[in-house]
A and B are shown apart, each in its own frame.
Chain A
Amino acid sequence: MSKITDSLRMTVIAGIVLTVVMVLVAPMIAGEPESLGDKAREQINELTRGE
């Protein structure tokens, strides 16, 4: 039976921690998603401009 070494275990744990950090910071980097409502309002404004 092969046993995982301590350094390899630490590598895997660090990889999982980095994954969690990545998931937590991703929404901050991507910014607020544009809602469909906002998009529709924008298009209506554009179409009715000047009326």
Chain B
Amino acid sequence: MDLDIGSYAFYIRWFHVLSGVMWIGLLWYFNFVQVPAMPGIPDEQKPAVGKHIAPKALFWFRWGAAFTILFGLWLAALNGYLHEVLTLGVGTGQIRYTLLGFGMWFGIIMAFNVWFIIWPKQKIALGLVDADAAEKPKAAATAKMFSRINTLLSIPMFFGMVSFQNY
């Protein structure tokens, strides 16, 4: 089997989608399942989520985000439209570049939020690093707010990604 540039890009797209499902699947798990379920869980059972489930989910969540961006940028470069989409297709007359560009920038902002806001704040909230007890609820609230922002952005982000394949 010949591994030409076309099929090479195909495998990079495959890894991009696999990483993306891992990332956004866990983002939606946190927002649609874990966070709404927490108030109904008895206090003595809460550590099962906070100490065992959440740290493991956050591991796959943040690395899923990193690899999604890495494979996504790689794919766009291989396909020769990285510059066009990162500049939102301004003046190209091709709406698909603009929509994919929006999707890519939303994805980049979301990955930034994961690595530089949500993960550091979750480490404090879950007690994975030393911090004042008073700081924990504040960190949890910030992490939750940015997680919600990412859920919001994931909707237009997916539209941009999918629209490129359907033009």
Interface residues of A (CB under 8 A from B): 2, 4-5, 7-8, 11-12, 14-16, 18-19, 22-23, 26-27, 29-34
Interface residues of B (CB under 8 A from A): 31-33, 36-37, 88-95, 97-99, 102, 148, 151-156, 159-160
Q: Told that A15-B156, A19-B156 touch, could you supply 20 new A-B pairs with CB distance under 8 A?
A: A5-B36, A8-B31, A8-B32, A11-B31, A11-B148, A12-B151, A15-B153, A15-B155, A16-B155, A18-B155, A22-B102, A22-B156, A23-B99, A26-B95, A27-B98, A29-B90, A30-B97, A31-B92, A33-B94, A33-B95
- The secondary-structure label for the interface of chain B is helix
Asked if A26 meets B32 with Cβ closer than 8 Å, knowing A11-B151, A11-B152, the reply is no
- The secondary-structure label for the interface of chain A is helix
Shortest CB-to-CB span from A35 to chain B, Å, is 9
The interface residues of chain B lying within 8 Å CB-to-CB of A32 are: 93
